[in-house]
Amino acid sequence: MNDRYFEKISFDQFKKDICDDINLYNSYNLPERKTASSAGYDFLALNDFILKPNETIKIPTGIKAKYPSDEFLMLVVRSSMGFKYNVRMCNQVGIIDADYYNNKENEGHIWIALQNQGDKDYEVKKGDGICQGIFMKYYTCNDIVENKREGWSANPIEGE
């Protein structure tokens, strides 16, 4: 069994965050890689929208992701969006920690915010790719979260 996967948020969460349309809920797909060598999983638009120049919009994906605690999901804009249209994610790179999955506030529902820095409307149709997610492993050092030993300090000056 794979230790990482995408799933839809529950229909109850979908109703809170998006709308009460069971047909829309049943119709959208989980992120997927387009080729065997693709690093990123394409997240697809749930519906049509137009992003006007200098406009920013927050977009629900209807997706949550489960993966090992020593990994994160990196979200980045699709290359063509930035290259051809000057459309960017507001935070440039999104980092979703493993403990975001099934959190109490929103089940780990992944949202993105896009900003059009170009001079033309950017039109998106339902099912178009809006960002891509890449699972990444990370490493830690001895930090405050992991080391609460007596006499230890993250600040070497305090520990002297």
Which CATH number characterizes residue 58's domain? Answer: 2.70.40.10
Give, in degrees to the nearest 5, the angle at Cα 138 between 111 and 59: 5
**pTM for the whole thing?**
0.85
Place of tokens 């980092």: 95
pLDDT at 2: 73
Q: Three-state SS for 8?
A: strand
Q: Which residues of the chain have pLDDT under 70?
A: 1, 143-160
160 in a structural domain:
no
pLDDT at 80: 87
117 in a structural domain:
yes
pLDDT tens-digit series, residues 102-119: 999 999 999 999 999 999
Domain total of the chain:
1
HSE-up (13 A, CA, CB side) for residue 136: 16
Assigned token pair, 123: 């039109």
34 in a structural domain:
yes
Give, in degrees to the nearest 5, the angle at Cα 91 between 61 and 129: 35
Domain that holds residue 81: 5-152
